[in-house]
Amino acid sequence: MQYLNSIDPKGLNVLVRLDLDLPTEKGKFDTTRMEDSFETLEYLFRKKAQHVTVIAHRGHTVKPTKAFSLAPIAKLLYTELLKTKAFQKTPRKDLEKWLDVLENLRFDPREEKGDAKFAKELAKSQDLFVNDAFATSHREHTSIVKIPEILQTVFGFQFEKEMVVMKRLTEQPKRPFMFLLGGAKFDTKLPLLEKISEHVEVILLGGKLAAEAREQGYKNRKMIIAELTPDGFDIERPSMEQFERFITEAKTLVWNGPMGKFENPKYAAGTKYIAEAVARTTGYKVVGGGDTEAALKLFKLDKPKTFSFVSSGGGAMLHYLAYHTLPALEAVKKRVVK
């Protein structure tokens, strides 16, 4: 695997895959994911890349509508980049000439199909591909797995940071290693849970996942399934306290997914209780996933150094913990082998 700092991009046309699927809060974009990419863009600018073309998605499979356009995010990207040290003396017109942001990849149905023809269209006139979108690198989409078949590919600085943490979790975790998972879609996550259970001491299961696991009669000797409130929108107090005991003992802890419908104050108690317990523990603690990050912000626990690392990718983190690789990584390996 090659990272961006191993390449001299001077004079190259560079295609960059970013994570610009920004959540909104009170009508404003949360720019955290976008700002994670600034180090990569600044490096390409300082090293005199000829031109940069950014590709990204917003939302899931959607029709081309203004509501899911990347245009407002592109404007925000230019505005915020001009505030950074590398670009602060750059006229906006020069930045816009150097950096293009293409429209939402998912406006084209070929993106999710791993389409070789679409990959060629995206790669046309490009010399180098930089993947700095860890959060979507578990998907076998065109921009993730097909472009590396055409262009030399390296990974950006945010991706590199993610991989340092993922390797620490999979190669040398301090034990006991606890995995805390919430959210929904048990059938989708079951294969991942089975694999992850091979690498951890305990899996704590909350949220709708807990209800779905009980409905299916699922059993795993390493898994503790929370009891839910009668309406199913939160975990019960005894489960909160039981989970806290395990969280306190963990030397390594990974948390992905809320314990309930935390957006509603009536059902926020479980997620808040668990978030505070994770924040207090002294072990190596990694959190990830959009809903988890949203919960931390809501409970004002998103301050720096509260957690060892906040991953930009929930699904990608789960996939890597389960299989110790990602489709994006395998795509690059295949090209190197060829």
Is the model's pLDDT at 224 over the cut of 80? Answer: yes
Cα angle 310, 316, 318; round to 5: 85
Q: Which CATH class is domain 162-323?
A: alpha beta
Q: Are 257 and 183 in contact (CB under 8 A)?
A: yes
- For the chain, what are the domain ranges? 4-159+326-337, 162-323
Report the percentage of the chain scoring pLDDT > 70. Answer: 99
Q: Are 267 and 230 in contact (CB under 8 A)?
A: no
**Residue 336: predicted pLDDT:** 65
Topology match between the domains 4-159+326-337 and 162-323: yes
- Of 144, 44, 152, which Cα lies nearest the Cα of 99? 44
Token output for 108: 């084209």
Question: What is the CATH code of the structural domain delimited by 4-159+326-337?
Answer: 3.40.50.1260
| CA separation for the pair 34, 186 (Å, rounded) | 30
Q: Which tens digits make up the pLDDT trace of 300-310?
A: 999 989 999 99
Query: At 194, is the pLDDT very low, low, confident or very high (cuts 50, 70, 90)?
Result: very high
| CA separation for the pair 241, 238 (Å, rounded) | 5
Cβ neighbour number for residue 160 with a 10 Å cutoff: 18
* Cα dihedral 18, 21, 25, 27 in deg (nearest 10): 110
Q: Between 290-298 and 314-323, two packed helices, what is the crossing angle to 10 degrees?
A: 130
Phi, psi of 327 (to 5 degrees): -55, -35
Residue for token pair 């009668």: 230
Is the model's pLDDT at 293 over the cut of 80? Answer: yes
Q: Rounded to two decimals, what is the model's pTM?
A: 0.94
Is the model's pLDDT at 165 over the cut of 60? Answer: yes
| CA separation for the pair 307, 309 (Å, rounded) | 5
User: What are 161-167's contacts with CB under 8 Å, separation 24+?
Assistant: 161/309, 162/134, 162/311, 162/312, 162/313, 162/316, 163/1, 163/134, 165/286, 165/308, 165/309, 165/311, 166/317, 166/320, 166/321
Mean pLDDT, residues 214-242: 95
Cβ neighbour number for residue 213 with a 10 Å cutoff: 20
